[in-house]
Amino acid sequence: MLTKKKQRQYLYEKEQQWLNELTIFGETQDENALHRLRLGIKKIRALVRLTEGVRGKRLSGDLRPLKKMFRQAGMIRDTRSQLRLLEQHQLLSPDHRELRVLQLKEAADKFCRCVTDYRKEGRKAARLLLADVEAIHGRAIRRWFAGEIIQAGVLLTKSGDELHLARKKIKTLLYVQKMLPEKQVHQLRLDTDYLDQIQDAIGSWHDCVVAAAGRPDQGDAGESQMIQECRAKEQIIRVLADDFHRKVHR
């Protein structure tokens, strides 16, 4: 069972984590702080998805105050990743690189100007979530995991946005398992190394696709190489995802 006390403690810890990283980013614009901020919120969202799946009650509205902040942080993260990959493939002229760096700086500055509002909205979200906490029984958790694994397996046979959605489901499974009691983890028998490997492969593919879509010029020397890299990364996912439902359990 996932008790109310355990969930409340978890929510409080993650709230403190992302609030601390919000302060750090506001003062330094440190890329790692932004990553840790998004990670803390993702873990909160994972618990919400478990709760929604088990109770059949929509709680995403509790997270609405965090939506704008999370979206803006994601845009900054994607822009940084895109810039890095385009530079690696030599697909940016000096002028285009200067423009991208300026856009990134403007987005980060805009985010920092909203830190006080984001903190206020985040605390509001925390109060809403804490008010909705209820104990979750072990049998319900096992049923939820089984359903999510089936859905992830189906999504892994597809491509594009659905592959990205499969990654989100897999990461949610990993986040939720880490908050469960040891007995419950043992009963699930998940191969977390395999799940982490496949989600990481999808993440690498997705970053490459986003960078390829954002290249400023067509026909550059590195363009075909980047497209080939996207295809190669997708093929790695296909190999990993083969017989997913057997591999996912130890």
Q: pLDDT of 33-57, one tens digit each? A: 999 999 999 999 999 999 999 988 7
Decide if pLDDT at 127 tops 70.
Answer: yes
Helices (H), 58-191: 64-88, 94-113, 115-131, 138-155, 161-178, 182-188
**pLDDT tens track for 73-98:** 999 998 898 898 888 888 888 888 89
Beta-carbon neighbour count of residue 58 at 10 Å? 10
pTM above 0.85, yes or no: yes
- DSSP summary character for residue 61: G
Instruction: Using pLDDT thresholds of 50, 70 and 90, give the confidence band for residue 28.
Output: very high
Length of the chain: 250
In terms of phi and psi (left: phi > 0; alpha: psi -120 to 50; beta: otherwise), the region of 218 is beta
| Domain range annotation of the chain | 1-136, 142-250
Asked if residue 37 lies in contact with residue 60, where contact means CB atoms within 8 angstroms, the answer is no
